[in-house]
Structures are given as structure tokens and as C-alpha cells.
Amino acid sequence: RKGSVFITGASSGLGLATAKALAETGKWHIIMACRDFLKAERAAKSAGMSKQNYTILHLDLASLDSVRQFVDGYKRSGRPLDVLVCNAAVYQPTAKEPSFTAEGFELSVGTNHLGHFLLSRLLLDDLKQSDYPSKRLIIVGSITGNTNTLAGNVPPKANLGDLRGLAGGLNGLNSSTMIDGGEFDGAKAYKDSKVCNMLTMQEFHRRFHEESGITFASLYPGCIATTDLFREHIPLFRLLFPPFQKYITKGFVSEHEAGKRLAQVVSDPSLTKSGVYWSWNQNSASFENQLSPEASDEEKARKIWELSEKLVGLA
Ligand code: NDP
């Protein structure tokens, strides 16, 4: 049978390019888990995906009710789940004030981390039950959360501190909206959320890899400077960022190339090692990359796991 892969945020950018790359192999059925059904349908059509290769299901990661409804709907459908890709994200680098999810969590960490945390926890048993030869749970990371890199040292840097804001619920009422308890900063909130993504992948690996055989992985696909991730950035930035990445840092990758990279992490028989953060060199060859000290801190990973369980109602 075809493999069954769920991709969140497949209506745009990396998620769409990955869905397209997998659809073209003819070996995958793609569940595009998207908040905007019509946009996803148009995106799949304009990418030339054939109808028999995908299904669109509604999922709004900024609402835990929506996550639960998505999971219930999927369970009733009787479909297998072989690979789950947590890809969707929001980035609000120019926001002066925080926005919030339905449950009142700061939007970037609430969507990118907490929404995906609940989704992947609720789908873990279904992944375990899959009889597919290589089942995988992939959480997209980023270089920007890794302070051991040049890009990760552009201020504001990721820093989760002692997690006091997360412990307080990131709601701006009786706690800060930032994980470390600081003042709201949209760019930093995004980077912090990516550190949570990479720590969550490793915690999944430690808790469940041996017993389940599931491959847990994260990746940095390269700087895909043309995606809608930068939609809220100022126009001048959006104009200059792609050529800057292409000609100065040389970190630029096209959506097509980045989609091929994530599709490899989904399906390549040689990328089955669990607990790995994949990156690609200038020749587009994959390698196991090093994470920053904070993005590989086991104690922090465990605390984030436990605090997140409370916030999403699992504990
Ligand atoms: P895009 O903005 O193009 O795609 C983000 C996707 O997430 C869209 O499909 C968007 O839906 C979806 N999304 C946002 N909020 C929600 C929500 N509440 N519920 C469901 N879906 C939601 O950005 P990219 O493709 O660049 O980003 C994809 C991933 O790649 C992210 O995890 C990002 O951190 C990562 N990444 C990107 C890099 C880059 O240079 N672009 C570099 C490193 C990592 P909609 O279409 O409806 O807006």
C-alpha cells in the first residue's frame, strides 16, 4: 500500500513543496492538515498534485479544540498514519503586541510548539500501530534557534531561561507571554518555539524510540527565504532577504529543493536514525548536525515536556 503521511501547514512554502515532492513519487497519500481549506485546495491544484494523492483535513493549531477534533476525525476515518510531519509555523517579527491562541497562549509558541505537542502526543499510538516498515515523527526545526551558529546569534537570540513564563501559561495576565519571563518580542518567541520543537523531538526519542521503533527527527532545511513565513516582515526586508541569502550568506534554498530535503527525511531509507537533527551541505548532501547547548539540554527538554503536558490538558 501507499504510505500515509500527515503534513501540517501544507498549504504553503515548505509543507506544500514537500507534499508535492512526495505526491510525485506515487508512493504516498498526503493528508494536508491545514487551517484554510480553500487555500490548501488551490495550492494543491496549482502545484499539479493529482487528486488521488492527497486529502485535505481542517486543522487549526492555534486551537487545542481544533487539534482534538482533527484527531477524532482522523481516528474515525480508519486511515493508517505512517509519518507525521509537524511543519506549520507562524513568525511575527514586527508585532509590537502579542497575539494569542484560542486558549490564551502567546501565538507563536502556542501554535508552533503547544499545538504540535498535543497533536503528536494524541497521534503517537496511531503511529505505533502502523505496520509501515519505517514510521517517523518529524518536527521541523531551525538554525535560528541554535546559538552555536552565526544565524542563531542574530539578536534577539533564543533563550528559554528558567521557563517561568511557560510555567505560568504564556498568557500575559498572571505570567509573561515569553517562555523566559521577559518582555514580548515576536522574533524571539518564534526562535524559542523552534528550540521547543527541537527539544520535543529529542524527548520523544528518549521516551519512545526503543519501545516503538518510531524514528524521531528534526531538520533545518536551509534558508527558504521566499516563503510566506516572512509575510509579516516589512516590504524592504522581503525584497532584500532572498538576494542576501543567495549571494552573501549562500544559505538560500529554493522551496523546491527544501521540499525535496524534507521529503527525504519522510521517506529516504538511509535516514532512519532516530534523535537526529538533519542539515544539508552546499552539495545538498544530508548530515547529522550539532544542536546548540540549549537546544540539546536534556533537563530542559524534560521540563518543557511536563509543563506542556499541563498546558494542553494531558496531565
Ligand atoms: P509558510 O508561512 O509558507 O508556511 C507555514 C504554514 O503553516 C502555512 O501553511 C500556514 O497556513 C501554516 N499555519 C500557520 N498557522 C497555522 C495554524 N494555526 N494552524 C494550521 N496551520 C498553520 O512558511 P515556511 O514554509 O517557511 O515554514 C514551514 C516550516 O519551516 C516552519 O516550521 C518554519 O519554522 C520552518 N523553517 C522555515 C525556514 C525558512 O527560511 N522559511 C527556515 C527554517 C525552518 P496558511 O497557509 O493558512 O497561512
- To test ligand 1's pocket by mutation, which of 35, 65, 194 has the most ligand atoms within 8 angstroms of CB? 35
ipTM > 0.90, yes or no? yes
Which residues of the chain are modeled with pLDDT < 70? Answer: none
Q: What is the pLDDT of residue 145?
A: 79
Res 181: pLDDT:
97
- In one letter, which amino acid is 284? S
What is the pTM (predicted TM-score) of this model?
A: 0.98
Of 51, 23, 179, whose CA–CA distance to 112 is shortest?
179
pLDDT tens string 121-176: 999 999 999 999 999 999 999 998 788 888 888 899 999 999 999 999 999 998 99
For residue 190, indicate whether it is catalytic.
yes
What is the average pLDDT score of the chain?
96
Q: Is the CB of 59 under 6 A from ligand 1?
A: yes
Backbone angles phi, psi at 85, to 5 degrees: -115, 115
120 vs 60: CA distance, rounded Å: 14
pLDDT given for residue 174 in this prediction: 85
**9 Cα: distance to centroid of ligand 1 (angstroms):** 6
SS3 273: coil
Atom of ligand 1 nearest to the CA of 88: 7
Give the pairing type, strands 215-219 and 54-58.
Answer: unpaired
User: Any idea what the Cα angle at residue 217 is, between residues 270 and 22, rounded to 5°?
Assistant: 65
Count Cβ atoms within 10 A of the Cβ of residue 275 and give its class: 0-12 exposed, 13-18 middle, 19 or more buried. Answer: middle
Answer whether 251 contacts ligand 1 (Cβ < 6 A).
Answer: no
pLDDT for position 151: 82
Q: Which pLDDT value is given to residue 149?
A: 84
Residue 90 Cα, ligand 1 centroid: separation in angstroms? 6
- Is the CB of 11 within 6 Å of ligand 1? yes
Torsion, Cα 187 101 141 124, to 10 degrees, reads: 170
Task: Report the alpha-carbon distance of residue 269 to residue 238 in Å, rounded.
Answer: 37
The pLDDT value given to residue 150: 82
CB of 35 closer than 6 angstroms to any ligand 1 atom: yes
Nearest CA to ligand 1 atom 31: 89
